[in-house]
Structures are given as C-alpha cells and as structure tokens.
Structure 1
Amino acid sequence: MKIVMMTDSYFPTRDGVVTSLTITKGALEAAGHEVVVAAPDPGESGRLPGVVYFPAAEFRSYPGYYLPLFRSNKMQVIGSLDADVIHIHGIALMAVKALLCARELGIPSVATFHTMVEDTMEYYSPIKMPRELAGRLVWTYLRNFLKRPDAIIAPTQSTADELLAKGARPREVRIIPTGIDTSRFRTGEDGTAIRGRHGLEGKNVLIHVGRISYEKDIGVIVDALAHLPEDTVLLMAGKGPAEESIRALAAEKGVGSRVFFAGFVPDGELVSYYAAADVAVSASRFETQGLSVLEAMAMGLPVVCTAHRAFADFVKDGENGFLFDGGGTECAAAVRRALASGEGIRRNARRTAESFSIEVSAAKHIDVYEFAIRSKMERKEARGRCRSSKRS
C-alpha cells in the first residue's frame, strides 16, 4: 500500500505529532508499505530528502512551526504519487490542504487527532480572546473538520470520548495508540554517564521528556520540587518556548539550582537519559497519547502523571504508576510514593508498555486504511446508483 502522510509539523520541529508520525511511518515501512511525507517547507537548511514540501512561512506566534500559506502546484505532485490513501496528521492549514487533495484527487483520507488545540489557544493564538470564546470557535471548526475524512484515529479512548462529547460526528472512529519500540527502551541501560554529565550523582532524579511548552504545565513540577528534599532534582530533556519562564519560576521558588536543562536530546541518547532517572513525571493535562511516559514505563521507571486524558487510560494508580489531581503539593506527594515504590511497580509499568506494540499499531493502521478505501468506494457507487435512478 502507498500512503501519503500530510502533516502540520515535521523535522526539524520536534513535538508529539512528529514523534508519532515517525514511529508509525517506520512501522508501516517495516511491514512492507511505502510512505511519503508532505509537510510545510522549513527552509533549505531543514529539508530532508524524499519529503514533499509545501511553500510556507514561519509561524511567529510559535517558533519552529511553519504555515503553508502560498499557492503552489503541490496538489499535482501529490496526485502524481498515485497514493492509496492520504493520512492527515494535524488539524491546521496542511490538514485543510490534505482534505482538498483527497477531495479533488478522489483519494480516501484518514486523520489522526493528535492535539487538543483548545488548550493551546491562550498561548499561541495570534488573536487574543477570552478562553471560552476561543474554545467555542475551535470546536466549531473541529466539528466541521472531523466529519470530512473517511475515518478518524483517536490515540486513546478518552480522546475519542471527548471528541464525541464535544459534538464531533466523524464517519468512523478507531482507537489506535501510537506504538513504541519496547526492544529499544531496555531496563538494563546505564545512565551513569548522563548523571555525571549533569552533576547528578547521589541525587533522586525526576525526568521530564518532551517539548518545554506552556500547555504542559511544567510549572506544577517545579512547584512540587520546592516541597521535596534537597537531594531531589528535575532533569528537563527537551527545549521549547516556555524554557525561560520555567527558569524564572524555578528561581522564584528557590529551586533554580535543582532544575537541569539538557536541551534537545538526540534519539541515540534518549534511552540513557531515562536510565539516569529515578522517576518520570508529567503534569500535563493536554496529552492525547503520552508517548514519553510510555517510553519511561518501557524502561521500568515509576511514572507520576496527572489523572487526566491519556494518562488516566493506561496509568493505574499504585499498580503501574502514580496519578495526582491538583498542583505542586499533590504532585510532590505522588513523587514521594514513586521514589518509595518497589519492583512490582516497575514490572507492571514495563508490562503495560509492552502492550503498545509498534507491530500491532501498524496492523491497525492498515486495517483503517482498507476501511477508508472501501468506504469511499461504497459511497461513490451509491452516488452512481442514485444518479442512475434519477435519470431513469
């Protein structure tokens, strides 16, 4: 099968959408399918071979992201690829262009719903407006968008439930978590070198992996650190627009010397960073997947997460991780439980992660692609029969 993945974000940008797309692309290719990526053009220095780039301008409100604002011949380029299906990653301008390509070229389309955009509007919208109004506008748009692809993929049941509760009425919804490569995230890895690099010897290390952005509520973790012993530190593996804000908050809370910023961590070092940690933590209420938490669980790390959205789907408090609902005080209490936890938590965490196999995810993607192809064909045949009956 030949799949064109059209995405709002791609390398050199690093975010959950890019991670999910890359994992899914690799799994599909390993299963013998062909995948072509189409993305906004980040400029010559950021281009990768084999990618179809749409002319774009940088999104000033969100550095590192690009908007395909310009007219081009890229629809013809997509048509020349002779794709079996278009897989849409995102809901912004590239997603709209993907829907137009699918409609004009007669190609079935599937969209993965990655991001609860409503939660990001107050930080990144170029037009400032009350949160409630922004939410209404976003969901008006999303309800219209989500009914157009032949199928919608939700990474978790809670995401699917939220879409339906907000009034979205997709033609088909499938629950397909992004798979993770548990053979890569091994429990026997050594994090000694990473601890030495950052001066973390003898410390209880909390790790946060991912983009440092406002909607991730990282400030809750910084606040929690102020309620924990001096030998407990936070290692931030990632970068993003909220970094200076987090540095300032850490200084204000008196824990500036206990927060370590590693910057962007290459994939080849990520496993060692997890191995250097004692607990993985996320305070985000925004996640539709929580891939970094699943990676940590695959490493056998105790995890501490908010009891919201994706995390509540696969983290069971006191069984394979620890959940909290509230602010820094509640987060700190969950961290204490995680630091005191035994081998059973680690074993159960690893077992949970193993259920998110990349092979199973790839097979489910092929199944939904085949459904989309059949569904589009059936609708086309039904329209043909309707026209024939009207003529007769």
Structure 2
Amino acid sequence: MTSAVRRSPHEGKPRLRILIGADTFWPQINGAATFIARLAAGLAERGHDVHIVAPSYSNKKLGTMVEVHEGHKVTLHRLYSWRWLGHPWLRFMMPWRVKQNSARILDQVKPDVIHFQSHIIIGRGMTIEGEKRGIRLVGTNHFMPENLLDHAYIIPKFLRRKAIQAGWAAAGRSFMRAAWVTTPTRRAAEYLEANTLVRNVVAVSCGINADGYNGNLEPKPENLIVFLGRLSDEKQIDKLIRAVAILDQALDAKLEIVGGGELEGKLRALAVSLGIEDRVTLTGFVDQEQLREALQRGSVFAMPSIAELQSISTMEAMASGLPVVAADAMALPHLVHDGENGFLFEPGNVDDLAAKLTQVLTLPADELLKFKKESLAIVADHDIQRTLDTFESMYRGEEVAAASSSSNKKESAS
C-alpha cells in the first residue's frame, strides 16, 4: 500500500461494494472511460469490492468476468449492445431491457453505492432500480448532448435544438435521483445546472497520478507540438494542423498527434493538402508508455477542443512539465492560466492559435522554465488520491465540502 493511500481519512473504515455504471468503457479510449478505469483501480487498491456495468463491444464476451485495469482486478458485467447509428464507436444497451438488466445485476451484486457516469442507458436503469432498493446513488456527468448529436445524422438539423433539450431533460431526471452529483470542474457544474433542474453540483477533478509522469524541465532538442486525444470533430484538430502550416518556417516546428479516431484519414489528407505531411505525425492509438514518451519529447502541448469538461490529456501533459496552448472554451481555462503555464486562444481562430504557439516556442529559457513549473504546480492540485477521498466520503454518506479546489476557485473567478 502506498504512502498516499495510508494518509487517506478513510483508512480503517469498512470496505464498500461499489457498482460503477458506465455507458462507455474500455476498450474505447476517451476521457470518461479513462476516468472510470482509474477510479475503479484506485478504489480496488484501497480494498473495496469494485464492479463495473458496461457494454460489450464485440458481444462475444457477455456476463460477469474479472478484468485488470490500471493494474488492478475489477469485476465487469458486460451487456449486449448495439452501435449508435452514425457514431463510430459509441455503443448502447437495449433501452427496453435496461431496467431488467439493472435489477438483475443489483440483486446479484447488492452494492452499497451506485456511481453512474452518464444517464444515457445504464445510468437511467441503475438509478431507477437503485432508488427502488434504497441504494445510495452518486452521479458524475461527462455528457454534452451537443457532442452526441454531431453524430446523430438521422435527426434533421431543424430538430437538433429540441433533441438537445430532450437530452438535457433526460439527464436531469436521472441526476435528480442522486444524493450527490459531480462534474470534473466548476465550469462544467455550472453548465449542468444551467441546462437542468439539478442543483448543488460539486466539482470533483477526475484526478491524475502525477507521480506516474516525468516532469521533464530540460530544454527540448526540437520544437515539437503534441496533441493527445480522440480524433473527433469537437477536438478541432484540423485547426491545429492549419495553424502549424502557417507557423514561421524558421521555427522548424513539427506536430505529433497522439491518438486514433474517426477523423484520422481526413486529418492525414489535410496535412498532405497543406504540404506539411513531412512535419505532421499521426500515431494512431498507442499504449500508456508510448503516450508518456510522446509527452516527454514535446516542447508544448496543444488542445484546440471546444467541448472539454476537464481534459485528462491536458493534465497528463502538465504532469509531464509541458506548457499548454488551449482554446478559451468550456473547462480548459481551469487548467491553462493565461500567461502563467501557457496561453489561451480564441476558439476556432487559426491565426490566434498559431500566434500563441509561436509565443511559447520563442519564449526565453528562463520564462519557459517558469511556465513548465507552473504546469506542475497546477496539476498537483488534481492528485487522484484527493479525488478518491472525496468520492469515498460520498459513497459513505458523509459530508463533503461544496467548496471547489483552489484551481476551481480561480476558474470560477476568471
């Protein structure tokens, strides 16, 4: 047991049986799936009996099984699923069977608490059946209906606004059943409250084991810009490629895009059309070690996304000692403090993104070092053990301070 675990205020308390409801999970790679895996592993390390209900992505492995995630064993309950029409990876369970499946699993597992990660299908079933059984409910929202509807080609554009409203209404119904509702940041909490009747949403960082990353403060041999994440529309990676194309050639800047997704082919074609294919590398999906190696090589991390409720990949870059250039959108200002550990640019503005990248790449060595150290200082406030402590208090029905972390306070005031 690590020293961080021994310092937990919950040490010595009875272990819990925790059921996590996940509409997206491994082998899919996205922020919510990564958070769920790390949460489950951290809870298992503390001695809790952790169960996850998630879709089967092949429908070949169904039912109850033990899987290893982040180095720890957890019990998975994989359910039959269909692929969302028009979406490259999202799976969903049969809506007409979700209550039956939820009731069966809850009666089998008999959890002390249900922590559901979205309301879409599994969360709805788990909250309805969990409420009937008097099981404590905790909900975390990673969901924005706007993002999902980008792939819902069967819904006409003139009905999108009503569909988004219906999506938020459905989210509100499920989260209203929970004793605690959380989001990764204060800004995301305000966004959920603005679109639903849910109130007193608590900002709890997804957390990161910063010790698992090497905060490299040494000068880098080349100007390498790194992006890490799923290659999807809301990430606006095309804007990043276009920004690299207009950088001063004297910078000799290169771009490494780490991750896979539905846009990989289009992004490769874009780099070719701009004549910079020799300066842009798309790695596809990589393992954790390769991810960390890429961050170690980088000079600056770029996150052009307009829909981040926190951005675990940005935290991973900061834990690697990188300055960050990010869109001034959603929760990214929560991590990137303009002029302190990086710069914010106007979302979608290619010229502004290129200008901010140039600022970082031309910083004097002493100023660049300050940016790197500030990234490490900011991300330290997101230690995974603090996240685990907070959720464990919620699971036990204990009081949790509604106040945000220091970085959340700063974000709210900005």
TM-score scaled by length of structure 1: 0.86
The 1:73/1:345 distance shift into structure 2, 3 A limit, reads closer
Pairing 1:90–2:118 present: yes
Pairing 1:345–2:371 present: yes
**Superposed CA offset, 1:328-374 (max 9, x none):** 11111111112233100000101111111111110011122223899
Q: 2:170 aligns with which of 122, 135, 141?
A: 141
Unaligned runs of 5+ in 1: 193-201, 375-392
The 1:280/1:247 distance shift into structure 2, 3 A limit, reads same
Q: Which moved more, 1:280-289 or 1:36-45?
A: 36-45
Q: Distance in 2 between matches of 1:89 and 1:261?
A: 30
Q: Note if contact 1:99-1:109 (Cα within 8 Å) is conserved in structure 2.
A: yes
Q: Distance in 2 between matches of 1:190 and 1:60?
A: 47
Alpha-carbon RMSD across the aligned residues, in angstroms, is 2.4
Q: 1:336 aligns with which of 350, 354, 358?
A: 358
Pairing 1:62–2:87 present: yes
Q: Note if contact 2:44-2:50 (Cα within 8 Å) is conserved in structure 1.
A: yes
Q: Distance in 2 between matches of 1:165 and 1:100?
A: 24
Instruction: State the Cα distance separating 1:122 from its structure 2 match.
Output: 2.4
Instruction: State the Cα distance separating 1:100 from its structure 2 match.
Output: 2.5
- Number of aligned pairs? 364
Amino acid at match of 2:149: M
The 1:83/1:190 distance shift into structure 2, 3 A limit, reads farther
The 1:211/1:372 distance shift into structure 2, 3 A limit, reads farther
Amino acid at match of 1:236: I
The 1:186/1:206 distance shift into structure 2, 3 A limit, reads same
Q: Which moved more, 1:135-144 or 1:340-349?
A: 135-144
Q: Which moved more, 1:28-37 or 1:310-319?
A: 28-37
Q: Note if contact 2:322-2:372 (Cα within 8 Å) is conserved in structure 1.
A: yes
Q: Which moved more, 1:265-274 or 1:289-298?
A: 265-274
The 1:61/1:46 distance shift into structure 2, 3 A limit, reads farther
Pairing 1:357–2:372 present: no
TM-score scaled by length of structure 2: 0.82
Question: Helix, strand or coil for the counterpart of 2:321?
Answer: coil
Q: Note if contact 1:279-1:301 (Cα within 8 Å) is conserved in structure 2.
A: yes
Q: Could you say which residue in structure 1 is the equivalent of 2:11?
A: none
Pairing 1:168–2:197 present: yes
Q: Could you say which residue in structure 2 is the equivalent of 1:228?
A: 247
Question: Helix, strand or coil for the counterpart of 1:355?
Answer: helix
Q: Could you say which residue in structure 2 is the equivalent of 1:34?
A: 49
Q: Could you say which residue in structure 2 is the equivalent of 1:76?
A: 104
Q: Could you say which residue in structure 2 is the equivalent of 1:312?
A: 333
Q: Distance in 2 between matches of 1:145 and 1:44?
A: 27
Q: 1:53 aligns with which of 74, 78, 85?
A: 78
Amino acid at match of 1:347: K
Question: Helix, strand or coil for the counterpart of 1:248?
Answer: helix
1:1-392 alignment runs, 5 A limit? 1-43=16-58, 49=66, 50-69=75-94, 71=97, 73-130=101-158, 131-170=160-199, 172-188=200-216, 203-230=222-249, 231-326=252-347, 327-341=349-363, 342-371=368-397
Instruction: State the Cα distance separating 1:188 from its structure 2 match.
Output: 4.1
Unaligned runs of 5+ in 2: 1-15, 67-74, 401-414
Q: Distance in 2 between matches of 1:316 and 1:332?
A: 18
The 1:137/1:191 distance shift into structure 2, 3 A limit, reads farther
